[in-house]
Amino acid sequence: DGGITQSPKYLFRKEGQNVTLSCEQNLNHDAMYWYRQDPGQGLRLIYYSQIVNDFQKGDIAEGYSVSREKKESFPLTVTSAQKNPTAFYLCASSATATGNTIYFGEGSWLTVV
């Protein structure tokens, strides 16, 4: 059953703590992405990776970090430097970085308490 799996679905973090959101895909896609959605807002790109061991900053990368050591995995770390981390985080993938359909996981809710 191919798809994109994000975990955890819900996560609470204390201020000052780093937290890592997991994203795994078994679609054999080269490109992976992290987006953030705030209530009533669109999707804003945090980081994207076109291929293993390579990634680029998106529009709102400050306070976030990623790694792409394996094709199927693209974890996102929300660091304590991120000023407003409470949001809905979406991981996505596409066969290549351009001109293909991009598919999304189910999302992860992060709440800072």
Q: Which residues contact another protein (rule: CB under 8 A)?
A: 4, 6, 33, 35, 41-45, 48, 50, 58, 88, 90, 92, 94, 97-99, 101-107, 109
- At 25, the amino acid letter reads Q
For the CB of residue 67, give the shortest distance to another protein in the complex, in Å. Answer: 18
Please say which residue, 18 or 96, places its beta carbon nearer to another protein. 96
Say if residue 103 is exposed, middle or buried (CB neighbours under 10 Å; 0-12, 13-18, 19+).
middle
CB neighbour class for 89 (10 Å; exposed up to 12, middle 13-18, buried from 19):
buried
Q: Which is nearer to another protein, 16 or 40 (CB)?
A: 40
CB-wise, 26 or 41, nearer to another protein?
41
